[in-house]
Amino acid sequence: MTRLVWLSEQAAADWFPPVAQALRDPPGLLAAGGDLTPARLLAAYERGIFPWYSAGQPILWWAPDPRMVLFPAEFRCSRSLRKTLRRGHLQTRLDCAFGETIRACAAPRRSGADTWLNEQMIGAYAALHAMGLSHSVETYQAGQLVGGLYGVQLGRVFFGESMFSRVTDASKVALARLIRECPANGIELIDCQVASAHLAGLGAREISRQEFAALLSRHATREPRSRWTDKPL
């Protein structure tokens, strides 16, 4: 495929081109346009597609190959992270500050660059959170939010979207809590989207887009959901 598919806001919300048609350059770019309604977002995630775009761009939809994923049983808790967890100076909560967490993920990084999380995206994931389909894991120090992550859950798949950290290991502590909660919330697969050395160090690995699609067909189902039950650790 050499041409980008454009989605119309009037088109059926559950229509996307086959992921095999994603461009090779830039890698994984599948379509542009459309909207960020819950119906379209859920249809995208079911197919292994996610939105990612910068200010001034149309909505861009991606389906990279290979795909980085983390199987909970393969999570790698380093010696330094285990030490941090034992110290107990960082506490975690579930779904207690979704709005604060996503806005912290959207804040400029130390490099000074803005992130892809604009107001449109924040509103879209807030809508999914209200439906019980988007969740946050927050890390606190002395009662202050210092790290966390958020993502979308469909059936037994958690699609990780972004994380942030204001103190050492805060985002890793949130991920460790997510791993701990996977059995209770029926999660068997965490989508990490694209490869990074940081995620690989935590046990994530790449699989083919075809293998990822097969896992989604078995595990990514739309089940009635609600906020996760929080039990502070």
User: 117-165, pLDDT tens digit by residue?
Assistant: 999 999 999 999 999 999 999 999 999 999 999 999 999 999 999 999 9
Which pLDDT value is given to residue 30?
Answer: 97
Q: Which of 27, 42, 64 is the last residue of a domain?
A: 64
Domain count, the chain: 2
Which pLDDT value is given to residue 58?
Answer: 94
Q: Is 41 found in the same domain as 85?
A: no
Unique residue bearing structure tokens 């935590």? 202
The C-alpha atoms of residue 155 and residue 80 are separated, in whole angstroms, by 32
Is residue 231 included in any domain, yes or no? no
Q: Is 104 found in the same domain as 49?
A: no
Q: Is 111 found in the same domain as 56?
A: no
Q: Is 129 found in the same domain as 43?
A: no
The C-alpha atoms of residue 190 and residue 72 are separated, in whole angstroms, by 7
Q: What is the mean pLDDT of the chain?
A: 93
The pLDDT of 9-33, averaged and rounded, is 93
The pLDDT of 29-42, averaged and rounded, is 96
Q: Is 35 found in the same domain as 93?
A: no
**Token duo for residue 127:** 């809508």
Question: Do the Cβ atoms of 174 and 151 come closer than 8 Å?
Answer: no
DSSP 72: G
Is residue 12 included in any domain, yes or no? yes
CA–CA distance from 121 to each of 77, 105, 118, 153, 162 (Å)? 31, 12, 5, 17, 12
Name the pTM for this structure. Answer: 0.94
Q: Is 74 found in the same domain as 47?
A: no
What confidence tens digit (pLDDT) does each residue in 85-128 have?
999 999 999 999 999 999 999 998 665 555 679 999 999 999 99
Q: Is 39 found in the same domain as 140?
A: no
Which pLDDT value is given to residue 2?
Answer: 63
Which pLDDT value is given to residue 56?
Answer: 85
Q: Which of 41, 64, 87 is the last residue of a domain?
A: 64
Length of the chain: 233
Q: Which of 64, 84, 115 is the last residue of a domain?
A: 64
Domain extent, residue 199, equals: 68-219
**Token duo for residue 153:** 């859950």
Q: Is 199 found in the same domain as 113?
A: yes
What confidence tens digit (pLDDT) does each residue in 50-63 have?
999 988 899 999 99
Pairing label, strands 91-94, 134-141: antiparallel
Q: Is 74 found in the same domain as 100?
A: yes
Q: Is 87 found in the same domain as 16?
A: no
Which pLDDT value is given to residue 186?
Answer: 93
**Token duo for residue 56:** 């001034």
